[in-house]
Amino acid sequence: MKSFTDTRDETSPDEIWLLQHPPVFTQGQAGKPEHLLFPGDIPVVQVDRGGQVTYHGPGQLVAYVMIDIKRRGMGPRALVSLIEQSIIDALSLYGVKARARKDAPGVYVGEAKIASLGLRIRKGKSFHGLSINVDMDMAPFSRINPCGYQGMEIIQLSQIDGACTKVIDDTLLIDDVADKLLTQLTTAFGYETVSLYHEPFNK
């Protein structure tokens, strides 16, 4: 991400990377040590995105959005709102009613957080991005104060009654969510041409 962002120029196409991480806690630039309760054997990585600590692991969809927002005439707030709405629209295709909150970035189902955002803007270009909890081991979230909020409830798509009746297998589920999210993001950004590159995920 950093290399791509640092070496791209005004003609470089934007890129969106969809992936899963092995188990890891990432601590953003504003991260406070007290929000890491007991990380145990899961590594903690300091990263240069905004926000506090969160967890990534298999079964969670991560999207890194490398967008030239200066070229698009878009500010950081508009970028965040566009990403949040794309997540909300993708989840609605599963019958899930989700929402954004003005006081806490991310996407929520009721009061529970289902998707997190953590972005960095450098020279008018964004990197890092978002994560959606799809079908994963949720236990590691109990080892932190997610996003710096003590007692915040975290939810995943597979826990929501009726949301996943069409897709049973967990691998198919996360691939399906990835397809739906990518469609929403590319539509929202108004891309006329999309080139896809795929590399299988190894657990």
- Active-site positions read 147
Q: How far apart are CA 78 and CA 134, in angstroms?
A: 25
Half-sphere exposure of 132 (CA within 13 A, CB side): 30
Name the amino acid, one letter, at 151. Answer: G
Strand order, beta sheet including 112-122: 15-19, 60-66, 125-133, 112-122, 107-109, 99-100
